[in-house]
């Protein structure tokens, strides 16, 4: 249908999510648009637990950023011993209702 299957929310919006209401509105609008188009969303530049929790609440599908981990080779990633992986699993486990997407780590 569209030549894209994901909307990425730029780190500038993520980093100002808690201090600028306009950034929170942009994140919410991106999530709403993506759901209507039946595509996924990815938040870039997630550095704090507060940002992460706000994005989970907003309905973001996946996240990237130093909170989850530093950039690395795929071969170096060990999900069983990885803080970001556990954080995402906990968020998914505590998500309420069937409309809440399972948040995942974007690679």
**Minimal CA–CA distance to 8: which of 24, 31, 38?**
31
Catalytic residue among 18, 44, 47, 50: 44
Q: 8 has which bridge partners?
A: 42
Which contiguous run of DSSP H or E holds residue 73?
A: none
Q: Which two tokens stand for residue 19?
A: 């201090």
What is the spatial distance between Cα 53 and Cα 82, in angstroms, rounded to a whole number?
Answer: 18
Closest among 49, 54, 43, 47 to 20, alpha carbons compared: 54
Which two tokens mark 69?
């981990």
47 classed as catalytic:
no
Catalytic residue list: 44
């Amino acid at each position: 249908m569209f030549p894209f299957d994901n909307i990425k929310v730029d780190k500038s919006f993520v980093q100002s999510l808690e201090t600028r209401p306009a950034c929170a509105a942009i994140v919410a609008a991106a999530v709403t648009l993506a759901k209507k188009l039946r595509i996924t969303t990815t938040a870039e530049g997630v550095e704090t637990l507060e940002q992460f929790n706000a994005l989970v609440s907003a309905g973001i599908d996946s996240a990237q950023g130093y909170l989850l981990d530093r950039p690395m080779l795929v071969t170096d990633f060990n999900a069983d011993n990885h803080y970001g992986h556990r954080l995402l699993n906990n968020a998914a486990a505590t998500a309420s209702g069937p409309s809440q997407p399972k948040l995942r780590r974007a690679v």
